[in-house]
Structure 1
Amino acid sequence: MTTATLAMPATTQYEHISLDDQQVPWIVGTTMKVVELVLDYQTHGWSPEELRFQHPYLTLGQIHSALAYYWDHQAQLDQDIERRRRKVERLQRSVRVSPLQVRLRSEPTQ
């Protein structure tokens, strides 16, 4: 059995943000990508305080760093968000409806 060496994340000028091997920004000490927090911010219009309430494992410092990173790299991250949205749409179109789904949709609701 061999031991794989994990690449160290690249540091950024943002205290709570690191980049992985593919240059994807992550919130340090979590499993959350910056883009995931940004989607919550955009979709729900949440303030940093509300984001903290919704994600209690994040500090306000982490949230502000993630939002600052987004605003400084907005075009790049917005392109990533759009790419992800198109991928989801493609996947949704390619999924066949199962017989169970057809049956459940045809049954009257109570």
Structure 2
Amino acid sequence: MSALVTVHIHLDNAGVAWIDDSNIKVIEVVLDKLAHGWNPEEIHAQHPQLSLAQIHAALSYYYDHQLDIDRAIEQELREVERMKPAVTQSALRKRLRATGQLP
């Protein structure tokens, strides 16, 4: 990623882009847009603690760094897929299935 940082966005020591004055990563806003097709106003309705300027800055940062962020999303999805078997076979799930509380 480039060292240039958009207003309302900062990078942490690991190079992760965060929205200023929040605990929300840029990638989270991007995922809202990609997964739900939300526009900035809809994202604002879901995250009222963010200003529209912060949301637009996050999306702008995404478009400036789209390749890197898309790669990070793909990596996270691969990690979720890798972890799925462990979650679906948890002891709690097995007990709930045994008692008929889960299909």
- Settle same-fold status: TM greater than 0.5: yes
Tell me what 1:50 maps to: 42
Of structures 1 and 2, the one scoring higher in RCO (CA 8 A, sep 6+) is: 2
Deviation at 1:97, TM superposition (A): 1.7
Structure 1: give runs of 5+ residues left out of the alignment: 1-9
What is the match of residue 74 of structure 1?
66
Identify unmatched segments of 5+ residues in structure 2: none
C-alpha displacement at 1:95, in angstroms? Answer: 3.9
Secondary structure of the residue aligned to 2:89 is: coil
Identical positions, percent? 48
CA distance in structure 2 between the partners assigned to 1:30 and 1:45 by the alignment: 22
**What is the root-mean-square deviation in Å for CA atoms of aligned residues?**
2.0
Instruction: Tell me which of 10, 24, 43 is aligned to 2:16.
Output: 24
Report the TM-score, using the length of structure 1 for normalisation. Answer: 0.80
Give the aligned partner of residue 76 of structure 2. Answer: 84
Q: TM-score under structure 2 normalisation?
A: 0.85
| Matches of 2:66 and 2:15, distance apart in 1 | 15
